[in-house]
Amino acid sequence: MDLRVRGDVPADPFLGAADLFETEYELDKPVRVDVRTDPDERTWAAHYDDHHVLNISRQAATSAMARELVVHELAHMARNEEGHTSHHFRTEEALFLALAGESVERRKVAHCYQIANHMKDIYADDITLSVMPPAKLVAFLESELARAVATRPEPTPWPDSRRVTAGSDPEITAVNAAFALGLVERHDVVDPDHRLYDLAHAAADDAPTVDLDAFKRRFRSLGENPSERDYRKALVDATREYVVRDASTNVAAD
**pLDDT per residue over 168-209, tens digit each?**
589 999 999 999 999 999 999 999 999 999 999 999 999 999
Quick: pLDDT tens for 121-175.
Answer: 999 999 999 999 999 999 999 999 999 988 765 443 333 333 333 335 899 999 9
CB contact at 8 A, 214 and 200 = no
Distance, in Å, from the CA atom of 10 to the CA atom of 30, rounded to the nearest integer, reads 19
pTM for this prediction? 0.89
Q: Where are the domains of the chain?
A: 3-82, 86-253
Q: What percent of the chain has pLDDT over 70?
A: 88
CB contact at 8 A, 53 and 32 = yes
What local confidence, expressed as pLDDT, does residue 248 receive?
53
Quick one: fold of 3-82?
Double Stranded RNA Binding Domain (3.30.160)
Residue 183: enclosing H or E segment and its boundaries? helix 170-186
Please state which of the ranges 55-59, 214-218, 245-249 shows the lowest mean pLDDT: 245-249
